[in-house]
Amino acid sequence: MPRYALKIEYHGAPFAGWQRQADQPSVQEAVETALARLEPGPHRIGAAGRTDAGVHALGQVAHCDMAKDWSPFRLSEALNHHLKPAPVAIVDCARVPDDWHARFSAIERRYLFRLLMRRAPATLDRGLVWQVPRLLDVAAMRAGAAHLLGHHDFTTFRSSICQANSPVKTLDSLDITETEGDSGPELRFALRARSFLHNQVRSIVGTLERVGAGSWAPEDVRAVLAARDRAACGPVCPPQGLYLAGVGYPQDPFA
């Protein structure tokens, strides 16, 4: 059976997350339902990562097996037709080897978090950013973020329901960029690692927001990391500002 890699973009608001659930809508279910309209029978797709309820994706990657030998362009066009009106789109499609796996073949994940700094309620970006009503100290946040780079035990930044075998991860990069968007001043956090723990990104951003607000000093981030205690973490920020931005592979299947 031919195997295909799918690059998927979605707005997470209507969904209970990526993973199929018995009684709530999911992105996985939307894509599998569209596949079933092309070829009858149950479809089970694998994905590079499971996003939570309300989290968006710019470059989620999944794979599917089809009975028919589709051209990648025709398959993506047909899926996009059947995905309507759900806010899900196949932005690229490629034929891959039979042993290629969206999750297990991946060597990195990239996340983006958007934080809007203004008092007036967001309108155009509502549901797409986390909004705080004050300007934050970006230099202090960058200083705090520096303590998180590298190979660490991230127990402090791990959800209590995380299913990962180990809390030890390597955070390869964490860049904070200040931009002046159409809605106002915005901070963009770009994080890159081979893999992430459940709620790790939202816990990190929530902690750094406390540093930017002046409630914590940058050096406090080192202390809470070393504590290896979930109770030491800052507030976990809401999901609507988080995006799965991309997934890296030894060879880009979409190149």
For residue 1, what pLDDT is reported? 86
User: Across the chain, what does the average pLDDT equal?
Assistant: 96
24, 119: one domain? no
Looking at the domain assignment, is residue 255 inside a domain? no
CB atoms within 10 A of CB 79: 24
- Mean pLDDT of the region 128-149: 97
Joined tokens for residue 221: 């981030």
163, 221: one domain? yes
Q: Is 214 left (phi over 0), alpha (psi -120 to 50) or beta?
A: left
CATH code for position 52: 3.30.70.580
Which structural domain range is residue 78 located in? 3-105
User: CA nearest 242: which of 76, 69, 53, 40?
Assistant: 53
70, 180: one domain? no
CB atoms within 10 A of CB 195: 15
CATH code for position 131: 3.30.70.660
CB 50 within 8 A of CB 43: no
For residue 181, what pLDDT is reported? 74
Looking at the domain assignment, is residue 252 inside a domain? no
* Digit-coded pLDDT (tens) for 83-138: 999 999 999 999 999 999 999 999 999 999 999 999 999 999 999 999 999 999 99
* Digit-coded pLDDT (tens) for 223-244: 999 999 999 999 999 999 999 9
Coil, helix or strand for 171? strand
Joined tokens for residue 56: 């968006």
Coil, helix or strand for 60? strand
Find the catalytic residue in 23, 52, 98, 182. 52
Burial class (CB in 10 A: 0-12, 13-18, 19+), 64: buried
Of 75, 105, 135, at which residue does a domain stop?
105
25, 53: one domain? yes
Its pTM stands at 0.96
- Mean pLDDT of the region 145-152: 98
Tokens 């047909």 belong to residue: 78
- Mean pLDDT of the region 211-234: 97
CB 187 within 8 A of CB 177: yes
71, 118: one domain? no
Joined tokens for residue 62: 């999944």
Query: Residue 88: in which H helix or E strand, if any?
Result: strand 88-96
Which amino acid belongs to residue 39? E
187, 204: one domain? yes
* Residue 157 pLDDT level (bands cut at 50, 70, 90): very high
Rounded to 10°, the helix 138-146/200-212 angle is 130
Of 69, 88, 105, at which residue does a domain stop?
105
C-alpha of 248 from chain center: 13
**pLDDT of 209 strictly over 80:** yes
Which amino acid belongs to residue 165? N
Q: How many domains does the chain have?
A: 2
For residue 204, what pLDDT is reported? 98
CB atoms within 10 A of CB 35: 25
Report the distance separating Cα 192 and Cα 248, nearest Å. Answer: 10
For residue 120, what pLDDT is reported? 95
Note if 23 is an active site residue: no
For residue 180, what pLDDT is reported? 87
User: CA nearest 59: which of 35, 36, 83, 92?
Assistant: 92
CB 114 within 8 A of CB 181: no
Of 105, 137, 160, at which residue does a domain stop?
105
* Residue 176 pLDDT level (bands cut at 50, 70, 90): very high
